[in-house]
Amino acid sequence: MVFNIQEDEQQVLVQRSARDFANTHIKPYVMEWDEKQYFPVELFKKMGEYGFMGILVPEKYNGAGLDYQEYITILDEISKVCGSIGLSLAAHNSLCTNHILSFANEEQKEKYLPKLATAEWIGAWGLTETGSGSDAGGLATTAVQDDDYFVINGSKTFITHAISADVFVVMARTGEKGDKHGVTAFLLEKGMEGFTAGQKINKLGMRASETASLFFDNCRVHKNQIIGKVGDGFIQALKLLDGGRISIAALSLGIARGAYECALRYANEREQFNQKIFDFQDVAFTLADMASKIDASELLIRRAGYLKDTDQKVTKESAMAKYYASEVAVEVSNQSVQIHGGYGFTKDYPAEKYFRDAKLCTIGEGTSAIQKMVIAREIRKDVQ
């Protein structure tokens, strides 16, 4: 497979814009937001002005009209400064907004996409439940038809932006449990009767990215709010997760890069035994390993982005990118803490936050075990 990894002028401009934005509007507040578990809605409104909230959305819907290569670049730069903000940016763009962009009818697109792309509205996406995480087909939340409405009952958990979002794409079971054609996607809006959010979940990392549960108690949703057809929801979700894995891979890349760069700076500043610690072979070789694995991650991610931009199948490649990049993020952030020594265990240096944030990347949008299962299923086809 041949794909172009050369940055073009537009990608360079996008990178510079995202980097300047992150350093100006995010970096000064990273630890404050993390300590307070504060979800900075006002920041996302500002990102809407820069086009970061509708990266893949066409310009006719007020989006930036960019492709996956620019999307990867933006997520990389934002996540290098703060994984929490990168995670929320990814969830808004690749899940809620992209679900509507990919599968909604024109009337729904015209209603929701312009507000999502400009961050007038924040988006959320609801699939995971208490009893169905990796087993996404085992949804317990039901939607029962009553004339022109569907009555939804149940709950969702670990939902990004559950409290602050204005529009939600929610998957509910309209058929038998386990039936891949038994799930339907619905568009819900904040304030609907019978639809509430729970308390913010207290998390190890990604603390400035809001996470909570959703509850449905006889919530009536008009049939016009169905995305696609009844029974299409699970198939839509699986297709969407191919792109979502690229998002988490890019998020992982940014976190790994941030952890590596702070370790590299520290190794060139810190002196022990009358020399920079970078001059010790163990430290230098560790940094060499970190740099090599980060570059390998980016190549996998860029390949997946190329396939996505050229409308080719990307299931295997996105799973590989997500699996490898997320595991590298955990490894690199761990090594960054080690290079910092005792200081890496304190909040005076950024290494500990990269370490805490990285772990989510191996879990969200499919654990590493699920990614390996997807990869194995795909490569088996090569010998059949």
**Closest alpha carbon to 142 in 177, 168, 167:** 177
CA–CA gap between residue 354 and residue 283 (Å, rounded) = 19
In whole angstroms, what separates CA 381 from the centre of its chain? 28
**Close Cβ partners of 29 (under 8 Å, ≥ 6 residues apart):** 40
Q: Which of 70, 210, 327, 365 is catalytic?
A: 365
Token pair listed for 11: 């990608």
Q: How many helices (H) and strands (E) does the chain have?
A: 12, 10
**Close Cβ partners of 288 (under 8 Å, ≥ 6 residues apart):** none
Q: Count other Cβ atoms within 10 Å, centred on residue 279.
A: 14
| Pairing, β 195-197 against β 149-160 | unpaired
Q: What angle do CA 129, 135, 141 make, to 5 degrees?
A: 35
Please answer whether residues 81 and 22 qualify as being in contact, where contact means their C-beta atoms are separated by less than 8 angstroms: yes
* 189 included as an active-site residue: no
CA–CA gap between residue 209 and residue 37 (Å, rounded) = 8
Burial 238-251 (b: 16+ CB within 10 A, else e): eebbbbbbbbbbbb
Residues labelled as active-site residues = 365
